[in-house]
């Protein structure tokens, strides 16, 4: 008899996005003349930058010739890309890393799940509430049910205090999905201090790093002294360069980072992750890595930043226009996410229904990201300028 991995049975249904889709489909069926605009999903809408397309074409051509054809790649990633990451993402910010501390992969979602496997299922995990649901689900799949939720509320500006109790694994996401808030240098210093004192590990998800505009906000956790001893950092080309369909990411696992056996012996996570990847991961494709490399050329940087500017203008428009009519709005500055407080204490799903049924606009109910998201609503800046403007205008008309 094949027994099922019962950890999977502890997962909650993916209720949030399936319910949104059901409600939208139902509305569209009943209102075929109305154009529904979605500011709901975190997927990008602008096409890839021309330098990226050019690099991919060139890599495909290379694959067509015997002399330049590439087969299985290097599991950790090609040095041509890792060198550029070290230079542009880190050296520029005073962070020195070795090539073998960076692992190229096919998206942060997979990296988050992969790294989580290296640590014991008995660990206590700290997650924010509200939270990007994949952190929680990846841990539940591993049988790690000892989860402490740290409340991210208006009162603490959506950045929870350091826990009073002991935890072993901490997920931090800055800029944050869904709240759009960022962690300051001081807050990160406190987390690093806590992690050191508790021999805990921080999983630092900064896939939205490119959206940071405030000078004083750190772009990498390694800008904080001592962070290499306690933190893994995750970055992705998904939002940075529109690679949601191409798939490329990297994780930094510093050689200083240690976890412990039950008897207290130190184990080096960098080697452990390399071992894990060489067994379970088949390397990101050569074509994809050449595409990511192109992001770091002068033209590449210019072109991807133009796309980010476009999304940031959307975020600014949503935030400012909604504020003008009295909404309380968070995020939207160092982030593509706008986290708005629903008016008159409306429940997140009631606000969703009102927007869909009366304005044909789709967003994401905050409560879907955790209980503390009740009474909030997430809008994203990733749609077209025209749709964003139209959606905001429709919302304003409803509440003016």
CB of 177 to ligand PLP, least distance (A): 4
Q: How far apart are CA 36 and CA 16, in angstroms?
A: 18
Q: How far apart are CA 366 and CA 349, in angstroms?
A: 8
CB of 68 to ligand PLP, least distance (A): 28
Among 173, 221, 246, 291, binds ligand PLP (CB under 6 A): 173
CB of 42 to ligand PLP, least distance (A): 4
CB of 244 to ligand PLP, least distance (A): 5
Among 123, 198, 244, 297, binds ligand PLP (CB under 6 A): 244
Of 308, 143, 119, 275, the residue nearest 201 (C-alpha): 119
Give burial (CB, 10 Å; 0-12/13-18/19+) of 385: middle
Choose the stretch contacting ligand PLP; rule: CB under 6 A; options: 90-98, 104-112, 186-194, 279-287: 104-112
Q: Tokens standing for 46?
A: 């602008």
Q: Closer CB to ligand PLP, residue 17 or residue 260? A: 17
Q: Closer CB to ligand PLP, residue 139 or residue 249? A: 249
Q: Tokens standing for 131?
A: 């939270």
Query: Applying CB under 6 A, does 236 fall inside the site for ligand PLP?
Result: yes
# binding residues, ligand PLP (CB under 6 A): 13
Give burial (CB, 10 Å; 0-12/13-18/19+) of 341: middle
Of 95, 166, 69, the residue nearest 124 (C-alpha): 166
Query: Applying CB under 6 A, does 364 fall inside the site for ligand PLP?
Result: no
* Strand ranges, E, within the chain: 37-38, 102-105, 125-129, 147-151, 169-173, 201-205, 231-236, 249-252, 258-260, 266-268, 328-331, 337-341, 361-362, 364-365, 376-380
Give burial (CB, 10 Å; 0-12/13-18/19+) of 102: buried
Q: Closer CB to ligand PLP, residue 18 or residue 68? A: 18
CB of 107 to ligand PLP, least distance (A): 3
Query: Applying CB under 6 A, does 301 fall inside the site for ligand PLP?
Result: no
Query: Applying CB under 6 A, does 107 fall inside the site for ligand PLP?
Result: yes
Q: Closer CB to ligand PLP, residue 116 or residue 360? A: 116
Q: How far apart are CA 45 and CA 245, in angstroms?
A: 11
Q: How far apart are CA 150 and CA 129, in angstroms?
A: 6
Q: Closer CB to ligand PLP, residue 179 or residue 360? A: 179
Q: Give the x/- contact pattern for ligand PLP in 193-222, rule: CB under 6 A.
A: ------------x-x---------------
Question: 121-150: which residues touch ligand PLP (CB under 6 A)?
Answer: 132
Among 38, 45, 159, 177, binds ligand PLP (CB under 6 A): 177
CB of 179 to ligand PLP, least distance (A): 11
CB of 76 to ligand PLP, least distance (A): 17
Query: Applying CB under 6 A, does 233 fall inside the site for ligand PLP?
Result: no
Q: Closer CB to ligand PLP, residue 76 or residue 359? A: 76
Annotate 220-242 with DSSP letters as a single string: SGGGSTTGGGTEEEEEEHHHHSS
For tokens 């520029």, what's the residue? 92
Q: Closer CB to ligand PLP, residue 89 or residue 205? A: 205
CB of 234 to ligand PLP, least distance (A): 7
Question: 6-45: which residues touch ligand PLP (CB under 6 A)?
Answer: 42
Residues 6+ apart with CB under 8 A from 39: 318, 361, 362, 363, 379, 380, 381, 383, 387, 388, 391
Residues 6+ apart with CB under 8 A from 178: 130, 132, 337, 339, 364, 366, 369, 373, 378
Interface residue list for ligand PLP (CB under 6 A): 42, 107-109, 132, 173, 177, 205, 207, 236, 238, 244, 249
């Amino acid at each position: 008899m094949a027994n099922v991995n019962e950890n999977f049975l502890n997962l909650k249904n993916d209720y949030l996005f399936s319910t949104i889709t059901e409600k939208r489909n139902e509305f569209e069926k009943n209102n075929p003349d109305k154009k529904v605009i979605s500011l709901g999903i975190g997927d990008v809408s602008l096409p890839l930058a021309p330098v990226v397309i050019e690099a991919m074409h060139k890599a495909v051509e290379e694959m067509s010739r015997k002399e330049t054809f590439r087969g299985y790649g290097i599991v950790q990633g090609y040095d041509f890309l890792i060198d550029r990451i070290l230079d542009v993402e880190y050296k520029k910010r005073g962070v020195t890393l070795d090539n073998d501390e960076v692992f190229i992969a096919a998206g942060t979602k997979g990296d988050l799940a992969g790294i989580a496997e290296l640590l014991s299922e008995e660990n206590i995990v700290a997650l924010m509430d509200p939270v990007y649901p994949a952190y929680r689900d990846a841990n539940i799949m591993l049988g790690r049910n000892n989860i402490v939720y740290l409340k991210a509320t208006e009162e603490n500006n959506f950045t929870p205090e350091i826990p009073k109790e002991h935890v072993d694994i901490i997920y931090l996401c800055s800029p944050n999905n869904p709240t759009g808030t960022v962690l300051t240098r001081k807050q990160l210093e406190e987390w690093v201090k806590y992690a050191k004192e508790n021999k805990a590990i921080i999983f630092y998800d900064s896939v939205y790093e490119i959206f940071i505009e405030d000078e004083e906000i750190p772009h990498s956790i390694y800008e904080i002294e001592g962070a290499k001893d306690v933190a893994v950092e995750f970055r992705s080309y998904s939002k940075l360069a529109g690679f949601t369909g191409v798939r490329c990411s990297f994780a930094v696992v510093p050689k200083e980072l240690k976890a412990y056996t039950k008897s207290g012996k130190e184990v080096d996570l960098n080697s452990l992750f390399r071992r894990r990847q060489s067994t379970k991961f088949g390397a990101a494709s050569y074509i994809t890595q050449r595409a990511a490399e192109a992001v770091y050329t002068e033209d590449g940087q210019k072109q991807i930043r133009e796309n980010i500017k476009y999304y940031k203008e959307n975020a600014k428009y949503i935030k400012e226009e909604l504020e003008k009519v009295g909404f309380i709005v968070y995020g939207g500055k160092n982030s593509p996410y706008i986290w708005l407080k629903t008016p008159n204490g409306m429940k997140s799903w009631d606000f969703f229904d009102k927007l869909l049924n009366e304005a044909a606009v789709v967003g994401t109910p905050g409560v879907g990201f955790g209980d503390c998201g009740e009474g909030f609503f997430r809008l994203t800046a990733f749609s077209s300028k025209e749709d964003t403007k139209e959606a905001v205008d429709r919302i304003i008309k409803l509440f003016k």
